[in-house]
Amino acid sequence: MLGQTETIWNEFSEHLRAFILKRVRDEEATADILQDVFIKIHSNAASLRHSEKLRAWIYQITRNAINDYYRRQKPMQELSEEIVALEPNETEALVELAKCVQPFLKKVPEPYRETLVLSELQGLTQKEVAQRQGISLSGAKSRVQRGRAKLKEMLVECCALEFDHRGSVAGYVPRKDDCQAC
């Protein structure tokens, strides 16, 4: 198996290095990912059934290793200055709008309401929501999406929302004087 790994290294290592570097743009990370790729190749070489698919198999391992690299980096990214430095007016508008959402959320029909509460207010992942509600993951995703659409529909009917350049809600103006929620 060691001889097979050496052959693969000699044939693919430079191409894989370029492939990885193009995607991560960091020499050290590229070297680490390439090492991980060849460890996985060496460990799993026996599982390759069709040698004519070797190239596709190696590149799939490499893509997965790159994805793993980015997943590990995600929690360590700092918040952008735009997020950290929210202007007080933006923060106030969001707090006021959050108060308005509660009455609308009560009007969202079940089962969408419960799904929205679990995913949006309690912070559960959609997978956790699915498990808690005893439904499939795709069912939970559909309920979240439909619940959000229903909530948005009610909000837009009541309020004219103002968005900033990032697409985030920056403010709102009630459309109706008798709007009880806002």
Q: What is the pLDDT of residues 19-30, one digit of tens each?
A: 999 989 999 999
Q: What is the pTM of this model?
A: 0.46
CATH class of 2-76: mainly alpha
**Per-residue model confidence (pLDDT) at position 88:** 47
Is there a shared CATH topology between the 2-76 domain and the 81-174 domain?
Answer: no
The phi and psi torsions of 170 (rounded to 5 degrees) equal -105, -20
d(CA 161, CA 170): 8
Q: State which of 30-34, 91-95, 177-181 shows the largest mean pLDDT.
A: 30-34
Residue-level pLDDT at 87:
46
**Domain boundaries, given as residue ranges, for the chain:** 2-76, 81-174
Q: Is the pLDDT of residue 12 over 80?
A: yes
Question: How much is the mean pLDDT over the chain?
Answer: 80
What CATH number was assigned to the domain covering residues 81-174?
A: 1.10.10.10
Percent of the chain past pLDDT 90, that is, above it, reads 33
Q: Based on C-alpha coordinates, what's the Rg of the chain?
A: 25
How far apart, in whole angstroms, are the C-alpha atoms of residue 63 and residue 18? Answer: 13
Residue with tokens 């969001």: 94
Q: Which residue has the tokens 């439904």?
A: 135
